[in-house]
C-alpha cells in the first residue's frame, strides 16, 4: 500500500554534471551550466505536481577540493544565477533560501544571496532551498554550537529547530542522480525517515519522465515511521 499523494518536500543530490560533459568532450563547466538548465525545468515540473519544497545540493563543503578552475566556474554560475533567476522565481512565486556556510564566500556573493532572498521573501507557491557550501555534519555542529552559546538544552526538538533547514519539514523523498548510491553528507539529520530514490541518469539528462518515475516509486511506498505495517495502513 503506497502513499496517496505527491511528496511535500523533495530533496535532490544533483550528481553527474562532470561526467555528462566528459561524455560530450566538453569542459566540466559546461556540465554545470547544463545542470542549471535542468534545475530550472525540474523546479517547474515539481510546482506543477504539487511539491511545495525543493531542496537541491549544489555545492558541498567538500567540493572546495575540486580543481580551482571548476570551483571558480561554479561560483561564477551561482553569482550569475542570482541575477538571472530572480525574475523567473518571482513570476513563479518561488521563495529562495541559500543554505550553507557563508563565511568562505566572497562579500559580493554573500550580498547577492541576501538580495535574492529578500526579493523572493514574500513568495508562497514553493520554497527552493539551494544548499551551497553545505554539509550535513556542518549543519548539526552549527546547530549544537548555537544552542550551547544560548545555554539552551540540547534535545531532538531544540537541535532540529536550530538547523539551517528548520524553516521546512524534513524531506519526504531524496533523489540522487548519476548512479551513485550514497547520501554524501546531505541533509543527514533530516533524512532519518526520507524515502530514497537512486537513478543512473546524469543530472543534466534528468527529464520529466525520470521525475515522474521517482514520484511514482515514492507513491508505492508505505511510510511507517517506526510503526508496524498494519498501524501505518490504519493511519
Instruction: Name the residues annotated as catalytic.
Output: 15, 63
**Residue environment code for 160-173, b if the CB has 16+ CB neighbours within 10 A, otherwise e:** eebbbbeebebbbb
Query: How far apart are the C-alpha atoms of 205 and 123, rounded to whole Å?
Result: 29
Q: Which residues contact 37 (CB under 8 A, 6 or more apart)?
A: 204
Among the listed residues 98, 4, 88, 93, the one whose alpha carbon sits nearest the alpha carbon of residue 52: 93
Inter-residue contact 55 to 9 (CB < 8 Å): yes
Backbone φ/ψ region at 66: left (φ over 0), alpha (ψ -120 to 50), beta? beta
| Coil/strand/helix, residue 157 | helix
Query: How far apart are the C-alpha atoms of 222 and 183, rounded to whole Å?
Result: 21
Distance between the two ends of the chain, CA-based, in angstroms?
A: 12
- CA 9 to chain centroid: 10
Amino acid at each position: 500500500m503506497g502513499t496517496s499523494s505527491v511528496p511535500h518536500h523533495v530533496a535532490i543530490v544533483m550528481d553527474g554534471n562532470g561526467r555528462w560533459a566528459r561524455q560530450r568532450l566538453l569542459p566540466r563547466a559546461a556540465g554545470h551550466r547544463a545542470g542549471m538548465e535542468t534545475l530550472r525545468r525540474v523546479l517547474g515540473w515539481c510546482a506543477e505536481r504539487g511539491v511545495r519544497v525543493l531542496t537541491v545540493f549544489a555545492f558541498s563543503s567538500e567540493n572546495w577540493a575540486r580543481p580551482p578552475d571548476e570551483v571558480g566556474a561554479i561560483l561564477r554560475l551561482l553569482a550569475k544565477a542570482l541575477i538571472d533567476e530572480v525574475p523567473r522565481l518571482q513570476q513563479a512565486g518561488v521563495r529562495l533560501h541559500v543554505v550553507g556556510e557563508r563565511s568562505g564566500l566572497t562579500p559580493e556573493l554573500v550580498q547577492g544571496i541576501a538580495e535574492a532572498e529578500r526579493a523572493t521573501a514574500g513568495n508562497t507557491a514553493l520554497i527552493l532551498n539551494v544548499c551551497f557550501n553545505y554539509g550535513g555534519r556542518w549543519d548539526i555542529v552549527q546547530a549544537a554550537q548555537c544552542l550551547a552559546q544560548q545555554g539552551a538544552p540540547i534535545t531532538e526538538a531544540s537541535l532540529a529547530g536550530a538547523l539551517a533547514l528548520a524553516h521546512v519539514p524534513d524531506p519526504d523523498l531524496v533523489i540522487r542522480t548519476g548512479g551513485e548510491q550514497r547520501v554524501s553528507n546531505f541533509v543527514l539529520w533530516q533524512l532519518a525517515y526520507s524515502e530514497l530514490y537512486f537513478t543512473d541518469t546524469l543530472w543534466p539528462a534528468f527529464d520529466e519522465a525520470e521525475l515522474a518515475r521517482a514520484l511514482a516509486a515514492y507513491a508505492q511506498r508505505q511510510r511507517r515511521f517506526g510503526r508496524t505495517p498494519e498501524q501505518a495502513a490504519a493511519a
